[in-house]
Homo-oligomer: A and B are copies of this chain.
Amino acid sequence: MTKDISIQVIKRLPRYYRFLTELENNGVDKVSSTKLAEVMSSTASQVRQDLNCFGGFGQQGYGYPVAMLRKEIGRILGLDKTHRAVLLGAGNLGRAIATHLNFDSLGFQLTAIFEKDKKLIGTMLRGITVMPDSDIEDYIRSNHVNTAFLTLPKDSVEPLIDKLYALGIRNYWNFSHFDIARKYSDTIVENVHLGDSLMTLCYRINEKNH
A interface residues, Cβ below 8 angstroms from B: 2, 10-11, 13-15, 17-18, 22, 38-39, 41, 76-79, 81, 83, 91-93, 95-97, 99-103, 106-108, 146-147, 171, 173, 177, 179, 181-182, 188, 190, 192-208, 210
Contacts and interface: CB of A to CB of B under 8 A. Distances in A.
A41 B36 CA distance: 35
Contact of A182 (B13, B39, B106, B210): B39
DSSP class of A's interface residues: helix, strand, loop or mixed?
Answer: helix
A95 B199 CA distance: 20
Nearest to A81: B206
Given A18-B177, A146-B205, A194 B108 contact: no
A91 B14 CA distance: 25
10 contacts: A10-B203, A11-B200, A39-B179, A78-B207, A92-B92, A92-B99, A92-B100, A103-B198, A171-B201, A173-B198
Contact of A18 (B38, B108, B196): B196
Contact of A198 (B38, B181, B190, B202): B190
Nearest to A38: B182
Contacts of A194: 97, 100-101, 192
Contact of A188 (B77, B195, B199, B201): B201
B147 A205 contact: yes
A14 B173 contact: no
Contacts of A203: 10, 13, 76-78
